[in-house]
Structure formats: structure tokens, C-alpha cells
Amino acid sequence: MPKSIKGTSSRTPPEPGSHADIDEWMARVMSELNPVVKRIDKLIRDELSGLQYAVKFKKAYYGLPQRGWLIELVAYDVSVNVVFHGGADFDSPPPQGEGRSRYVKVRAVEEVDTPEMRAWVKAAGRVDGWKD
């Protein structure tokens, strides 16, 4: 009998911490991707004010108290997934994902410095993200 796939409803959102948690997470990311995650972090902090930060399950989270967790960074061997938890609600959503979440794979710093990425980060601050 095949296993049934559990929805994300059983996952518990992370508890807010400080940006120091993100700094520690970035220090553990593979050296080739470190400039990428640092640039994404800077873009998010430049575009959204009043952020909360957390690290859970080896993933970095950025959120706003009134909106929930908006952006999740997941570092793999060759890329970083930038997950927008309310991405399906954007006027022009990122290309990958299903449900309300959408994501984009980033492999180089140059891929962070695009009008699309900046627009997605700004849009993330205008829609609800992942909440309890």
C-alpha cells in the first residue's frame, strides 16, 4: 500500500529569533553558495522592514508579525531555493511550486540582482505567508 502524502498543516511554523540565527545558518552554507545567500539576505532586508527571523529544519525564514513567514531559503549543493509562501497570490508568481507556495532556484549572485527577484520580495510583504 503506498504511503499517503501529508499536507503541510502538520508542520509547525518556526519560533521567531534574531538575525544572528540567519548569520549562523549562512556560515554553514556551502562556500560556493555563501555569496548567493548573503545577497538574497541583503535584498530581503533592504526591501522589507520589521522582519522576524528564524532557522528551522536547516532552512532560513523571514516573516512579518502580521503576515506570517513570507520567505524561506533552502540551500542545496548547487542552488538555493527561494520559497515565497504566498507566491501564488503575486501578480506575476515565481515559476515553480504548487499550492500557495512558489519558488525559484538561484545558482549565482547575478540571478539575485534581477527586477523579477526584487518584485517577488516586495510582493511577499503584501500577501499573507505561512501562519499557524
pLDDT score recorded for residue 11: 78
Q: Rounded CA gap, 53 and 63, in Å?
A: 7
Whether the CB-CB separation of 123 and 91 falls below 8 Å is answered with yes
User: Quick one: pLDDT at residue 32?
Assistant: 94
Answer with the residue of higher pLDDT: 90 or 8: 90
Give residue-wise pLDDT tens across range 35-56: 999 999 999 999 999 999 999 9
Q: Please give the model's pTM, rounded to 2 decimal places.
A: 0.90
Q: Where are the domains of the chain?
A: 16-124
Q: In CATH, what number does 16-124 get?
A: 3.90.1150.200
With cut-offs at 50, 70 and 90, classify the pLDDT of residue 6: very low
Answer for the pair 63, 23: CB distance below 8 angstroms, yes or no. no
- Which whole-number Å values give the CA distances from 43 to 4, 111, 114, 131, in the listed order? 38, 12, 11, 23
